[in-house]
Amino acid sequence: MHFAELASVQYKTPTLLTIGKFDGVHQAHQHILRRLVERARQLDCHSAVLTFDPHPDEILRPEREIRYLTTINERAALMQDLGIDLLAVLPFNQATSQLSPKAFLQLLLNHVPVRELWIGPDFKLGHRGAGTMPVLQNLGQELGFTIEPIPYWTLDDEIVSSTAIRSCLAAGDVQTANHYLGRPFSLQGIVVPGDQRGRKIGFPTANVQIASNHMLPADGVYVCNVQLLDDRRSFGAVTNIGVRPTFGVLGRAVEAHLFDFNEDIYGRSLRVSFLQHIRGEQKFAGIEQLVAQIGRDAQFAREWLEQH
Ligand SMILES: Cc1cc2nc3c(=O)[nH]c(=O)nc-3n(C[C@H](O)[C@H](O)[C@H](O)COP(=O)(O)O)c2cc1C
Ligand SMILES: Nc1ncnc2c1ncn2[C@@H]1O[C@H](COP(=O)(O)OP(=O)(O)OP(=O)(O)O)[C@@H](O)[C@H]1O
């Protein structure tokens, strides 16, 4: 797959293209992208996605403090796995947010020879969302491509969206989030030093550094799978997300206790995949009570992993 900023793309092959944020590359996205790839192959065209980074809400609705489900690199890897030929990224900023629908499409056509533009339900393009479906259809005729409307895609009668997945995660409901994503929600980051308290209490944890604008599941304890990204080994784990109120309120941390593992992994990259919520984070009266509860959490997680 070719993955680059739109400005540096000079595509020659006729292309079927869809535009969107695609944060999460969830099941509805996957459904669209698979169909796009399939039809492109039938027509001897290439399949492409134009996406935005940063997310348009960072410019248009900064008060929402968007939390990403996926980094742009994760989105690229997922799209590559689906067979997409080109992922072009448009840096979303004040200038690009002001483009009229026509100027936006002309900019796109300068870099990619679009033959079909696939547009999802409610999709609007350009300054103040002026590029609605009828507007885009007229522009397509003028500029020489067709607009293909994408119908709503639902799962168990629910409309799958990035926003819905963020709400599930904020409520600690990783099961529904994972169902919508079509894979476990995961966080990737490097292991940074903690306060070395975990080792003393018998549950050493890998503290995983996550960008502050990345979505985290609700504070609490989860059954997880942890993969070391350099050597690809995987381990069962129990992970705490939170501010560790038992010790006074500290900064929010993501810390995973890996089962049957005892190695120094500071500086290594991990992917923590969230499989099951166990409980919310609690303030315990003392360390003894906390340690006893972590023991029960670990036991629960081991049994859950054995059964699934
Ligand atoms: C499975 C698990 C559950 C935890 N649950 C809580 C909790 O409910 N409340 C709390 O204050 N800390 C909780 N902790 C966090 C511990 O306080 C933390 O691991 C310990 O302070 C080590 O911190 P350090 O890595 O900064 O040394 C939990 C940790 C683990 C691994
Ligand atoms: N459930 C769905 N059914 C059909 N098309 C969808 C669905 N969800 C998203 N799309 C389409 O996929 C493309 C990219 O979606 P985008 O990431 O912008 O939307 P989203 O997942 O609904 O996110 P948000 O919740 O931020 O609106 C758009 O064309 C959008 O209309």
Is residue 274 domain-resident?
A: yes
* Rg, the chain, Cα only: 22
Is residue 180 domain-resident?
A: no
The answer, yes or no, to whether the previous bond of 54 is cis (omega within 30 of 0) is yes
Is residue 129 domain-resident?
A: yes
- Answer yes or no: do 152 and 207 share one domain: no
What's the confidence (pLDDT) of residue 248?
87
CATH for 92: 3.40.50.620
Is residue 167 domain-resident?
A: no
The total of other beta-carbon atoms located within 10 Å of residue 44's CB is: 8
Q: Are 244 and 250 within 8 A, CB to CB?
A: yes
Residue 195: nearest ligand to its CA? 1
Read off the pLDDT of residues 238-261 as tens digits, 9 standing for 90 and up.
999 999 999 888 889 999 999 999
- Cα end-to-end distance, the chain, whole Å: 34
Atom of ligand 2 nearest to the CA of 29: 12
- Answer yes or no: do 22 and 154 share one domain: yes
> Ligand 1 center to residue 202 CA distance, Å?
11
Read off the pLDDT of residues 6-21 as tens digits, 9 standing for 90 and up.
999 999 999 999 999 9
- Answer yes or no: do 147 and 219 share one domain: no
Paired residues of 192 in beta bridges: 207
pTM reported for the whole predicted model = 0.94
Paired residues of 87 in beta bridges: 3, 49
Does residue 149 line the site of ligand 2, with CB under 6 A? no
Distance of CA 52 to the CA centre of its chain: 13
- Answer yes or no: do 136 and 190 share one domain: no
What's the confidence (pLDDT) of residue 117?
98
Residues with CB under 6 A from ligand 1: 194-198, 203, 205, 207, 221, 238, 240, 244-247, 255, 257, 281-282, 284, 290, 294, 297
The half-sphere exposure of 151 on its side-chain side, counting CA atoms within 13 A, is 2
Does residue 121 line the site of ligand 2, with CB under 6 A? yes
- Answer yes or no: do 152 and 277 share one domain: no
What's the confidence (pLDDT) of residue 200?
78
From CA 17, how far away is CA 3, in angstroms rounded? 14
Paired residues of 132 in beta bridges: none
* Residue 214 DSSP class: B
Residue 289: nearest ligand to its CA? 1
What's the confidence (pLDDT) of residue 197?
77
Going residue by residue through the chain, which has 308 residues, state the pLDDT in tens, using 9 for 90 and above: 999 999 999 999 999 999 999 999 999 999 999 999 999 999 999 999 999 999 989 999 999 999 999 999 999 999 999 999 999 999 999 999 999 999 999 999 999 999 999 999 888 998 988 999 999 999 999 999 999 999 999 999 999 999 999 999 999 999 999 999 999 999 999 999 987 777 778 899 999 999 999 999 999 999 999 999 999 999 999 999 999 999 888 889 999 999 999 999 999 999 999 999 999 999 999 999 999 999 999 999 999 999 99
- Answer yes or no: do 147 and 280 share one domain: no
> Ligand 2 center to residue 161 CA distance, Å?
6
Atom of ligand 2 nearest to the CA of 163: 25
Does residue 52 line the site of ligand 2, with CB under 6 A? no
The half-sphere exposure of 121 on its side-chain side, counting CA atoms within 13 A, is 9
- Answer yes or no: do 9 and 153 share one domain: yes
> Ligand 1 center to residue 197 CA distance, Å?
9
> Ligand 2 center to residue 194 CA distance, Å?
38
Residue nearest to atom 22 of ligand 1 (CA): 198
Residue nearest to atom 14 of ligand 2 (CA): 20
Return the H-helix or E-strand segment holding 273. Answer: strand 269-279
Q: Are 23 and 69 within 8 A, CB to CB?
A: yes
Q: Extract the runs of DSSP E, i.e. beta strands, from the chain.
A: 2-5, 15-19, 46-52, 86-90, 114-119, 146-149, 154-155, 158-159, 186-192, 206-208, 220-228, 234-242, 253-258, 269-279
CATH for 190: 2.40.30.30
- Answer yes or no: do 70 and 211 share one domain: no
Q: One-letter amino acid identity for 90?
A: L
Nearest to 198 by CA among 298, 270, 269, 304: 298
From CA 274, how far away is CA 22, in angstroms rounded? 20
Cα 54–58–61 angle (5° rounding)?
150
Does residue 152 line the site of ligand 2, with CB under 6 A? yes
Mean of all residue pLDDT scores within the chain: 95
- Answer yes or no: do 210 and 73 share one domain: no
Is residue 259 domain-resident?
A: yes
Domain boundary among 159, 193, 209: 159
Is residue 120 domain-resident?
A: yes
Residue 79: nearest ligand to its CA? 2
- Answer yes or no: do 234 and 117 share one domain: no
Residue 254: nearest ligand to its CA? 1
ipTM of this predicted complex?
0.88
Q: Are 227 and 270 within 8 A, CB to CB?
A: yes
Phi/psi region, residue 134 (left: phi>0; alpha: psi -120 to 50; beta: rest), is alpha
- Choose the residue to mutate in 246, 257, 276 for probing ligand 1, maximizing ligand atoms within 8 Å of C-beta: 246
Is residue 176 domain-resident?
A: no
- Answer yes or no: do 155 and 193 share one domain: no
Residue 192: nearest ligand to its CA? 1
> Ligand 2 center to residue 22 CA distance, Å?
7
Does residue 28 line the site of ligand 2, with CB under 6 A? yes
Q: Are 55 and 21 within 8 A, CB to CB?
A: yes
Task: Say how many domains are in the chain.
Answer: 2
Atom of ligand 2 nearest to the CA of 26: 21
What's the confidence (pLDDT) of residue 170?
98
The total of other beta-carbon atoms located within 10 Å of residue 305's CB is: 18
Q: Which structure tokens are listed for 191?
A: 């292991």
Is residue 138 domain-resident?
A: yes
**The dihedral sign for the CA sequence 96, 80, 184, 204:** negative
3-state secondary structure of 296: helix
- Answer yes or no: do 130 and 20 share one domain: yes
Q: Which domain holds residue 246?
A: 185-307
Paired residues of 241 in beta bridges: 220, 254
